[in-house]
Amino acid sequence: MPNSGLDRLDISILEALQENARMPLSEIGRRIGLSQPATSERVKRLEERGIVTGYGARIDPAALGLGMMAIIRIRTTHEHIHPALRAFAEMPHVIEVHRMTGEDCFLLKVQVPSPGQLETIVDSIARFGAVTTSLVLRSEPAKPLGKALLEGA
């Protein structure tokens, strides 16, 4: 088990903070049977060790008029890779960029208001190589980390 020296209490803290990063430390402590200062100390250590890298608000894209999500794969050649990365960084609708093994070099997650906007993005990406676009019909809520570590690893 490659757990970085985390005990059950640390895992519980991570789960609580993923569920609600604004939960008071006293409340987290109450759940796991620790005092507020002891909980505070553990959270600070999790941050210092680089396990907790920050805290972010969850935002509903649909509520902002970005109700359409798509997955775009790009198959390209080696000399296009770095220009492509720079181009993706400039596109605000491109939310995630992953470089991968396999036939396709890149996988992008984009969040757009309309098919027309998606077309614009696809067109501006096509210069790098062959593009495959899929519309996301439904996404399950993203799963928090934590459980995966306790069971077998």
Partner DNA sequence: TCTGAAACATGGGATTA
Partner DNA sequence: TAATCCCATGTTTCAGA
**CA 43, 45, 46, 50 torsion: positive or negative?**
positive
Q: Does 148 bind its own copies (CB under 8 A)?
A: yes
Q: In the chain, what's the furthest Cα-to-Cα distance?
A: 58
Q: Among 14, 25, 34, 131, indicate the residue that binds its own copies (CB under 8 A).
A: 14
Calpha distance 110→76 (Å, rounded): 19
Contact string (CB under 8 A) for its own copies, positions 41-70, x = contact: --------xxxxxxxxxxxxx-xxxx--x-
Structure tokens at 72: 């775009």
- Shortest Å distance, C-beta 4 to DNA: 13
Our finding on whether 129 is near its own copies (CB under 8 A) is: no
Place of tokens 């060790």: 49
Binding flag, residue 116, its own copies (CB under 8 A)? no
117 touches DNA by CB under 7 A = no
14 belongs to the binding site for DNA (CB under 7 A): no
Smallest distance, Å, CB 9 to DNA? 6
Give the span between the Cα atoms of 42 and 53, in whole angstroms: 14
- Choosing from 38, 71, 107, 149, the residue that interacts with DNA (CB under 7 A) is 38
| Binding site partner of 101, from its own copies, DNA, none, Cβ cut-off 5-8 A by kind | its own copies
Residue 105 contacts residue 81 (beta carbons within 8 Å):
yes
Q: What is the C-alpha to C-alpha distance for residues 88 and 72, in angstroms, rounded to an integer?
A: 12
